[in-house]
Amino acid sequence: MGLRIHFVVDPHGWCCMGLIVFVWLYNIVLIPKIVLFPHYEEGHIPGILIIIFYGISIFCLVALVRASITDPGRLPENPKIPHGEREFWELCNKCNLMRPKRSHHCSRCGHCVRRMDHHCPWINNCVGEDNHWLFLQLCFYTELLTCYALMFSFCHYYYFLPLKKRNLLLFSWPWRFCRMF
């Protein structure tokens, strides 16, 4: 598994990546500020739950970066084909390179990828032989973070005691700044 750094120049993919990072940053700020920190200050939850939330968030971001920049298994320009395996290779009709039978040509990236699964716009990269495991890690950590945040949101509304001190400015537009415009 060669973990070479690989970047795809695709405006749609960069837009999707930016959206993912924005949602991640929004949740990493909003969930703790509205749910975790107020309930921790009032003694409803222990501090280790906040540390676990941030730990999963960091794992999710690291998995996103690793899946995005790792080479998915791009085929070289002049592959060295062993003599015994020549019948398992074929010619790509789009880039005119020899490729193994389970390889596919990605129209977004413009090259053939070994054991290509799909081109994922959310990581702005193909999912292939060399980064498939990293993509599955990203899916796992994203699901874990989502379930953890949903569990705290559910507990905030239905299980925890009501907060004694509510900061309603978090939910209202700061109208004092509107007078300037």
120 labelled catalytic: yes
Task: Please determine, for residue 135, whether its predicted confidence score (pLDDT) is greater than 70.
Answer: yes
Q: 36 to each of 40, 77, 87, how far by Cα in Å?
A: 6, 52, 59
Residue 70's pLDDT band (cuts 50, 70, 90): confident
Q: 76 to each of 85, 105, 111, 114, 117, how far by Cα in Å?
A: 17, 13, 9, 10, 18
Residue 55's pLDDT band (cuts 50, 70, 90): very high
Instruction: Write out pLDDT tens, residues 14-40.
Output: 787 788 788 788 778 877 887 788 878
Q: What is the pLDDT of residue 6?
A: 59
Task: Please determine, for residue 161, whether its predicted confidence score (pLDDT) is greater than 70.
Answer: no
Catalytic residue among 60, 120, 126, 155: 120
